Structure 1
Amino acid sequence: MPEASLSDRQFQRLSAFIEGEVGIKMPPVKRIMLEGRLRKRLRALSMSSFDEYVDYVFSRDDGEIVHMIDVVTTNKTDFFREPEHFEYLSDTLLPRQVAQGWGIGSPFLAWSAASSTGEEAYSLAVTFEEFRRTNSSFSYRILGTDISTAVLHTAEKAVYPASRIQPVSQILRKRYFLRSRDRAADLVRVRPEVRQNLLFKRLNLMQERYPLRDLFHVIFCRNVIIYFDRPRQEALLRRLCNYLVPGGYLFLGHSESMASSNLPFESVAPTVYRRLEGVALDGSPPDGSADVSSKQGVFSKQKERW
């Protein structure tokens, strides 16, 4: 029996939905890719045709929408990817801003806004832990978000093939990673004292309002806006700006820029931008359900799961 194929009409419906829901363009050249990835969902649901699957998706089964997004989104990340950002964080940003009181008394808040399988968020945590070695009064919390539930599950487990930590120095590997007792498995896990400072949640960066209560000192949103058209890029950057404290920092990917935006940022290093103080944007972060502040409520529950 031949495999099901995706018709032009089906592809157009799905690509329009994906672009509207996630912001990712799906031009015709991606039809074969989309067809191949969605066949996994047909097999999982014991469906024999894309007609059946598309009807199922557009019946507004939100659970299947989440699964579909999981298989069509691309997640590329590494520990200490674009290392210059982490060097700027440890050598310049933290010493300067902690001297101004950031992270003293209440936690320094960082958001990895497209955290994928967690390597970026844990790289932030290792950077903060290293800073704490000589600044014991410093504390931090990290929120990692992604639209894919599959990658968030990996991030929460914090277990990786040993080959994934090749970019991490030997000293940092010994300090912050545990080797599996089963040497044949060749796995590592981030130490619990590091994991306790992180929270992972599903969040769609394209939604107009985020369920977050806090303002962040640092937001990493790297290699994300390149997938969006200009209006969506502008809208996302504006939303992120609203979630930064005045003087807070936004890190973009190496091929991304704010050059054409009218947002209140100044460039302080390659693809590192500081929100100007005393310049307000229309709107402010709404009240919501996710709390990564010093109140500890969400984080104490997170510890119980670990």
Structure 2
Amino acid sequence: MQALKLRPDYRERFRDIIYRETGICMPANKDHLLASRLRRRFIEGGFHDLDGYLRHLFEEGGLARDWELIVNQVTTNKTEFFRERRHFEILSEQVIPEALARLRPGAACRFRLWSAAASTGAEAYSAAMVLADAAAADRRLDWAILGTDISTAVLAQAERAIYPSRELTPVPAQMRVRYTMAGRSRNGAGSARFVPELRRRMRFAEMNLINPPFPVARNLDAIFLRNVLIYFDEARQARLIADMVEHLRPGGWLFVGHAESMVVEDGRLDHMAPAAFRRKENQP
């Protein structure tokens, strides 16, 4: 039997929906990428190709049922512990000491950090280990971390806080000893889980960064917004950066990916180091 002819607007409609709902630009020359990321769904549903799957989405009501799966598959979730290590050194050597120096005598330092595109949680837990070390050295430091992502699949792993041992290779050995518990996965491979002392100070939540206002506290000490701006167009990049600055306290820090540093243009920020910005003091 001859295959049904695909309506010519299905691919364009699909790309438009992804852009409208996630902010991710998927031009026509990336259709092969879409197909590869959705390949598992093709196999499970018995679809032969992207065109057949799109017919299912638009002609058979599949879009509403599959939307969460689609978001989980098309979003990029590459991450690793202590990725762009210099940012965590700045967190330890500048951001935290600055926050402690602002304290009145006898006051506690309520330090809050937002990992805005947290993926599987590697970034958030890297920051947590740095903060836990700092709190051990100075008991005035009372810290907490919020990790958010649009993908429910990666957030589920972040909340479990269990990772293959091989993924923890970038974590300094002493931190692995202090903050992880060794175990085994079902297939016998080595794994590790972060200790309860870290997990109780972490919270993860689903959030779409193109839909402000964000239900996140203001006056944050640091925001990690790394390797997500590159997937947005210029208008959404500028809007998101402006929204992030609104959530920083005066003197708070914004970290972006190294490939994104040039797109950060906001008069309220000073460029302090590669891909690291600080909100100016005494400026609205």
Q: 1:64 aligns with which of 63, 66, 71?
A: 66
Q: Give, in angstroms, the shift of residue 260 of structure 1.
A: 6.2
**Structure 1 residue ranges, 4+ long, deviating more than 6 angstroms after superposition:** 1-7
Tell me whether 1:137 sits opposite 2:113 in the alignment. no
Residue 228 (structure 2) pairs with residue 206 (structure 1): no
Matched, 1:227 2:231: yes
Residue type of the alignment partner of 1:23: G
Q: TM-score, normalised by structure 1?
A: 0.83
Q: Secondary structure at the match of 1:266?
A: strand
Q: Which residue of 2 aligns with 1:217?
A: 221
Larger displacement relative to structure 2 (132-141 or 250-259): 250-259
Correspondence 1:1-306 to 2 at 5 A = 8-44=8-44, 49-50=52-53, 51-55=55-59, 61=64, 64-101=66-103, 105=108, 107-180=110-183, 184-257=188-261, 261-280=265-284
Give TM-score scaled by structure 2 length.
0.89
Contact preservation (8 Å) 1:47, 1:53: no
Q: Which amino acid aligns with 1:112?
A: S
How far apart, CA to CA, are the structure 1 residues paired with 2:2 and 2:36?
14
Distance in 1, Cα, partners of 2:68 & 2:102:
42
- Displacement of 1:219 after TM fit? 0.2
State the Cα distance separating 1:266 from its structure 2 match: 0.6
Q: Which deviates more, 182-191 or 168-177?
A: 182-191
Cα separation, partners in 2 of 1:256 and 1:181, compared to 1, 3 Å: closer
Q: Distance in 2 between matches of 1:119 and 1:7?
A: 42
Preserved contact between residue 80 and residue 86 of structure 1 (Cα < 8 Å): yes
In 2, Cα distance between equivalents of 1:220 and 1:5: 46
* Structure 2 residue matching 1:188: 3-state secondary structure: strand
| Structure 2: unaligned runs, 5 residues or longer | none
| Contact 1:238–1:263 (CA under 8 A) maintained in structure 2 | no
Residue 105 (structure 1) shift: 2.6
Shift of 1:2: 11
Residues 261 and 274 in structure 2, CA contact (< 8 A), matched pair in contact too: no
| Cα shift readout 1:69-112 (whole Å, capped 9, x = no counterpart) | 1111111111000000011111122112212129x535200000
The percent of aligned pairs where both chains have the same amino acid is: 38
- CA RMSD across the alignment: 2.6
Q: Residues 171, 53 of structure 1: CA spacing in aligned structure 2 closer, same or farther, 3 A cutoff?
A: same
CA 1:259–1:31 in 2, change beyond 3 Å: closer, same or farther? closer
| C-alpha distance after superposition, 1:223-263 (max 9, x if no partner) | 11111111111000011011111221101111112566243
Pair 5,167 (structure 1): closer, same or farther in 2 beyond 3 Å = farther
The residue identity in structure 1 corresponding to 2:191 is L
Q: Which stretch of the first structure deviates more once superposed, 124-133 or 180-189? A: 180-189
* Aligned residue identity for 1:74: T
Counterpart-to-counterpart distance in 2, 1:90 and 1:134: 12
Worse-matched range after superposition: 270-279 or 77-86: 270-279
**Which structure shows the higher strand fraction?**
2
- In structure 2, give the amino acid aligned to 1:13: R
Distance 1:124 1:7, change over 3 A: farther
Counterpart residue identity of residue 38, structure 2: L
Aligned length: 277
